[in-house]
Amino acid sequence: MSAARKRFSEREIVTVLLQQGALVYCPRCEEIIKLGDKLEREHFHELALGGADDPSNCFYSHAECHAIATNGTKATTAGSSKHKIAKVKRIAAGGRKRKGRKIQSRGFATHRPRPWR
Instruction: Summarize pLDDT for 56-72 with one digit per residue, the tens.
Output: 888 889 999 999 998 88
Residue 4 lies in a domain: no
User: Domain range for residue 68?
Assistant: 10-92
- CA dist 41 → 53, 62, 64, 76 (Å): 11, 9, 12, 23
Residue 26, in any domain of the structure: yes
Q: Residue 56: helix, strand or coil by DSSP? A: helix
Q: Within a domain: residue 54?
A: yes
| pLDDT at position 88 over 60 | yes
The pLDDT value given to residue 67: 92
Residue 75 lies in a domain: yes
- Residue at 117 is within a domain: no
Does residue 17 lie within any of the structural domains? yes
Rounded to two decimals, the pTM is 0.61
Chain centroid to CA 34: 23
Residue 97 covered by a domain: no
Task: HSE, CB side, 13 Å, CA atoms: give it for residue 110.
Answer: 1
Split into its structural domains, the chain has a count of 1
Q: Is 36 left (phi over 0), alpha (psi -120 to 50) or beta?
A: left
Q: Are strands 39-43 and 58-62 parallel, antiparallel or unpaired?
A: antiparallel
In a domain, 114, yes or no: no
The enclosing H or E element of 110 equals none
Provide φ and ψ at 61, rounded to 5°: -145, 170
